[in-house]
Amino acid sequence: MPKPPIPDPLQWLRKTLDRVEGRANALAGRGLQCEPVLATLHRLNAASMLWRQALQKALDRHCKRLNLPTARDVAAIQATLQRIEDRLDSLASPHDAPAAQGPRPARTRKPAAAAPGADGPDEAAAPGGNAPRRRAVRRGGGHGTRR
Amino acid sequence: MARDADAAKAGATSRRLRTEVDRLLQRGLKGLEYLGSPAPVVGTTPKTLLLRRGTLGLYHYKPQQSEIYRVPLLLVMATTNKAYIFDLAPGQSLVEFLLQRGYDVYVMDWNAPAPSERGLRLEDYVLGFIPDCIARVQRHSGEAELTLAGYCFGGVLALLYTALHDGAGLRNLVCFTTPLDFSQMTLFRALSDARHFDVDKLCDRVDLVPAEMVIAGFDALRPAGRIAGQLRLWDNMWNDDYVKGYRMMERWGAETLPLASEYFRQIVKELMQGNALHQGTLRIGARLVELERVRLPLLHVIAQHDHIVPPPCARPLLQRVGSRDKQEVMLSGGHVSLVAGANAVKRMWPTLDQWLQARST
């Protein structure tokens, strides 16, 4: 195929963009290692956080004055609804019991390259030699207790 | 002969002009369409919610093969983001790939914590959520052992669980770009430098560290990335696949989650500032985390151009664990392109499948 006489007009711009992006990121990276830049960045961040909180407080006051729920009230209602929904899910969900799941695929799949009868990891590739252990889980077993 | 060459040259010129004019028009038209269209749909692979407990959601994906591997796979997402990065769209979904390869896939996803969950700590994740999900997967699948695979900080949580429970209930451990030596995360460390950043002051003041602050932290590592990304988007606006991929990633980034303030305090003070995991001084629930107690077969996949977890930060993991069957794979790509996108389809997914299949029977 002959080489097009008109080069891709955006090719140069694309390369320039890559270069400029790389340099800008490297420069910013060096800036983050520089104490005054870092200190300024954190001061700006702290100021933005204070501003956000002040705005939130003002909004909350305004909502109270209008007899409307605040963001915190809405979050509390959401959390309560979520707890109810979770509880309903756990009561209604039969998912945990394998018998309730209906027919499921057989867990007998072997790696494509595995020879018949060789059902474990390649010992050479797995120096740990973790032989495949086949045992069914005890009902109610496991370690699902929360600390 | 010369006339043929001239004709070919003229044909090529005309084709090039047509292409450029066409793309220019499409950029304009599709740019307008882009502004008015809704966010792309993600995470469409059929799944069932098995457990929801506050910030935690455990999902089971419907198997797609009539014969599956015995050992189920439980993916643990990083707590800063939604797990649909594993299931962006048909053909771009790690979950779909694994289902088609015959794995039984479960995913631990996170919701934005409620203000009432401000007190969540690493202990809640490592000694509460993960063991609870493992027990659920065991009951649901009827299998005693599973493969635990964590992405980024999800990998840290999976690693901590394995070290503290001697791998109970697990057959294999897989970590994707998991940080260990936090002293090598130079930019994040600079951002969390105790001389400038009073984490206690922040965490005492807020219930949740806002998602905007988490996003700003990631953006600070590559501040030119966002604008360069938008310019590239305009350049590729004629390309529907590019735009779709960009929008899915953009949505994923924008849906970054806030973090419980105690959890954030613990991560900053103990891991970022104290580098306690690497130094072997980290305690979870008063128990010392000893990485040499991780003796399961381990695969650690690292991204060569990862700017969030650079390779020097992730590489010590392999040396520190007690596993005999352990493998580190360094793949070309970045932090996110390791698990999602065209790079992942070609590189990481087949690598993972190859490693897992021999250890999942």
Q: What is the pLDDT of residue B353?
A: 95
Residue B187: per-residue pLDDT: 84
Summarised one tens digit per residue, pLDDT across range A66-87 is 888 887 788 778 778 877 877 7
What distance in Å separates the CA atoms of residue B310 and residue B304, rounded to the nearest whole number? Answer: 8
Residue B32 confidence class, pLDDT cut points 50, 70, 90? confident
What pLDDT does residue A117 have?
A: 41
Q: In terms of DSSP H, where are the helices of A33-70? A: 35-65
CB proximity B322 to A under 8 Å: no
Tokens at B315, concatenated: 């590489």
Of chain A, the percentage scoring pLDDT greater than 90 comes to: 10
Other Cβ atoms within 10 Å of A116 Cβ, number: 6
Mark which residues 144-183 of B lie under 8 Å from A by CB. 144-145, 165, 168-169, 171
Asked if B139 and A97 come within 8 Å (Cβ–Cβ), the reply is yes
Beta bridge partners of B52: B57
Q: Say yes or no for a CB contact (<8 Å) between A128 and B361.
A: no
Question: How many other CB atoms are there within 10 angstroms of residue B269's CB atom?
Answer: 16
Does the beta-carbon distance from B12 to A72 stay under 8 Å? no
pLDDT greater than 90 at residue B281: yes
**Above 90 in pLDDT, residue A40?**
no
d(CA B351, CA B331): 10
CA neighbor of A4 nearest in space, from B6, B23, B18, B16:
B16
Handedness of CA B197, B199, B204, B208 (dihedral sign): positive
* Cα gap B1→A125, rounded to integer Å: 60
Interface test with A, best of B62, B70, B207 (most A CBs within 10 A): B70
Give A36's contacts in chain B (Cβ within 8 Å).
Answer: none
Q: Identify which of A85, A90, A143 has the shortest CB distance to residue B168.
A: A143
| Alpha-carbon span A110 to A118, nearest angstrom | 9
Partner residue opposite A17 with nearest CB, options B102, B231, B324: B231
At residue B217 the predicted structure's pLDDT band, cuts being 50, 70 and 90, is: confident
Extents of the domains making up chain A: 11-93
Q: Does residue A131 have a pLDDT over 70?
A: no
Instruction: Determine the average pLDDT of the residues in B273-295.
Output: 94
Average pLDDT, chain B: 91
As a whole number of Å, the CA-based R_g of chain B is 23
- Give residue-wise pLDDT tens across range B236-255: 888 888 888 888 888 898 88
Confidence of residue B151 (pLDDT cuts 50, 70, 90): very high
Provide the pLDDT for residue B79.
96
Q: How far apart are CA B292 and CA A93, in angstroms?
A: 39
In angstroms, the CA B228 to CA B230 distance is: 5
Lowest mean pLDDT among A81-90, B17-26, B225-234, B296-305: A81-90
**Tens digit of each residue's pLDDT (9 = 90 or more) over B56-85:** 999 999 999 999 999 999 999 999 999 999
Question: Domains of chain B, with CATH numbers?
Answer: 47-357 (3.40.50.1820)
Q: What is the pLDDT of residue B259?
A: 95
- Region of B148 please: left (phi>0), alpha (psi -120 to 50) or beta: beta
What band does B163 get if pLDDT is binned at 50, 70 and 90? very high
Give residue B268's pLDDT.
Answer: 95
Chain B residues with CB under 8 Å of A141 CB are 135, 138, 144
Residue type, A87: R
Contact A143 B169 (CB under 8 A): yes
